[in-house]
Structure 1
Amino acid sequence: MTVISSEKDVEALTLTFVAEFDADAARVWQVWEDPRQLERWWGPPTWPATFVRHEFYAGGSSRYYMTGPNGEKARGWWENTVVEAPHRFEFTDGFAGEDGEPDNIMPEVRGSVTLEEQGGKTRMTTVSTFTSVEQLEQLIEMGMQEGMTLAMGQIDALLAESMVA
C-alpha cells in the first residue's frame, strides 16, 4: 500500500500522511501538477474529483468537486501559497459552496506537501494543520483520514501506467 503512515497529533493540531512511491520526485510531482492526473486520485475511489480550475503556482487557485456514488457533489478549493517544483508546495484548502467559491462557514486547513527522493523511491509527506482540536476532530469525523488514505492509495496505479507507456 502506498500510505505507510497516517498520524493524528492533537497537540500540534496536525494530520500527517507519509507515502512512498517507486518513481522519482519529478514524476510524483506530476500527479499534483496535472489536473487530469490529480482527478484520478484526489477523491477516494467512490468520490472521484473533477478540477474545473487548477492554477498550480504560488498565488494560483484551484476549484474542484467530488461526485459521490449517488450523484451528490462535494465542492472544494485550494489557494496555493508556495510552489517549488518538484519538491514542495503549500496551500490553504477548504469547502466550497454551490458556486465553487470558498464556503466561509466550513473550516479551512493549511496543507503542505514535500517530496523527497530516497534510494530510487520518493517519499511524500502531506501535513494538514488545523486551527483547533474541534476542527481537527470535525474533519476526522467527516472521513478525512480514511478518505485521504484511500485517495493516495490510487497513486501507485497512476504511476505504473506511465512506466509502461
Structure 2
Amino acid sequence: MEKKFNYQINDREVIITRPFEAAHTNVWEAFTDSRILDQWWAPKPWNCHTKSQEFKVNGRWLYYMEGPNGERHYSYFDYKSIDPQNSFSGLDGFCDENGNSTEDQPSSEWKITFSSDKEICTMKASCQYPDEETMKTFLDMGFLEGFETGLNQLEELLKR
C-alpha cells in the first residue's frame, strides 16, 4: 500500500489523501456518523463530543474538542452536498457553544470523496480557504498534524 498520509498544498487549497484497509461502507460511516466520529476525530489526548448532527444537505454537525485540562473548542460542519457512499462537502468553521460562527476565526470549504479498489478505501479531502493567509493560519495551528493523528486513530478503530 502507498504511503498512508499524503498531502499537497496549492494556492488556497490543501488536498489530503489517506487509504484505509477497510470496507468502503465502514470508512464512509466513520466520516458521517457522529457516534463514530467522536471516537477518532480529535487527536489524543483531546476528545471529540458531538452536541448535534443532522447528516443531510443543509444539516449541521456541531461538536467540540475537549482538551486534557477541560478546555473546549467548538466547531461546526455545515453540509452543502451529499452523494451517499461517494462524497460530501460543506463549510467547516469555529463557533461558540450554541453554534454561532466565530468571525475572528478562519473557516474552510471541504469536499471529502471516497473510492475503493479491492480491499482499500481511499479518502480524499480537499480543503479550500478564502485566501492564503487563512490557509497559513490553519497550517500554523497544526491542522495537518492533527488531522493525520485523527486519521491514524481512525485506522486503529477500523481494525477493531
Deviation at 1:77, TM superposition (A): 0.5
Deviations 1:42-100 (A, max 9, x none): 11112211011111111111100000121110110010001111110001000012433
TM-score (norm: length of structure 2): 0.93
Residue in 1 aligned with 2:72?
A: 73
Distance in 2 of aligned mates of 1:121 and 1:47: 28
More off after superposition, 135-144 vs 23-32: 23-32
Percent identity among equivalent residues? 25
Map of 1:138-149 to 2, 5 A cutoff? 138-149=137-148
Consecutive unaligned residues of structure 2, counting only runs of 5 or more, are: none
Distance in 1 of aligned mates of 2:128 and 2:13: 5
Determine if contact 1:3/1:152 at 8 Å carries over to the other structure. no
Consecutive unaligned residues of structure 1, counting only runs of 5 or more, are: none
TM-score (norm: length of structure 1): 0.91
Distance in 2 of aligned mates of 1:146 and 1:128: 15
Map of 1:47-58 to 2, 5 A cutoff? 47-58=46-57
Distance in 2 of aligned mates of 1:101 and 1:42: 21
Moved over 4 A (4+): none
Residue in 1 aligned with 2:103?
A: 104
Distance in 2 of aligned mates of 1:15 and 1:153: 18
Deviation at 1:134, TM superposition (A): 0.3
Determine if contact 1:63/1:101 at 8 Å carries over to the other structure. no
Map of 1:14-93 to 2, 5 A cutoff? 14-93=13-92
How many residue pairs match? The answer is 159
Query: Secondary structure in 2 aligned to 1:106?
Result: coil
Residue in 2 aligned with 1:122?
A: 121
Distance in 2 of aligned mates of 1:97 and 1:140: 22
Distance in 2 of aligned mates of 1:101 and 1:113: 24
Distance in 1 of aligned mates of 2:126 and 2:45: 23
Residue in 1 aligned with 2:6?
A: 5
Determine if contact 1:41/1:49 at 8 Å carries over to the other structure. yes
> 2:28 corresponds to which letter in structure 1?
W
Determine if contact 1:17/1:126 at 8 Å carries over to the other structure. yes
